[in-house]
Amino acid sequence: MDNLIDKALVRKVASLARLELSEQEVKEFTGQLCAILEYFHKINLLDTEGIEPLAHCLPITNRLREDQIQPGLDPGQALKNAPDRDGDLFKVPPILEEGLGP
């Protein structure tokens, strides 16, 4: 199988993820990602006809209960320990730079 991952692609993905990688890390991750894709290729070669998809290998089920309506907190209780508030709302610092938001 041809290498689908090269150093340039690793650098591009690292840049998109805002990661700074050393040359050693680029080389290491290139090899690791190639090995992962080769393993996926091997798995794709398996005949899975008639095999039911699984979410878990053990026969487990969720234990569900009936929904029950319960009273919620009033705004005063909910905001009692808030470090900063704006009326009945939590006030948080902005996460986007000025002019980048909608």
Tell me how far apart the terminal alpha carbons of the chain are, to the nearest angstrom.
44
The two three-digit tokens of residue 25, written as one number: 């890390």
Backbone phi, then psi, for 85, in 5-degree steps?
Answer: -145, 160
pLDDT (tens digit per residue) in 35-83: 999 999 999 999 989 988 888 888 888 889 999 999 998 888 889 889 9
pLDDT (tens digit per residue) in 60-73: 888 899 999 999 98
The two three-digit tokens of residue 14, written as one number: 């690292």
Cα 72 from Cα 77, distance rounded (Å) = 10
Q: What is the pTM of this model?
A: 0.49
10 burial (CB, 10 Å; 0-12 / 13-18 / 19+) is buried
* Domains detected in the chain: 7-44 (1.10.20)
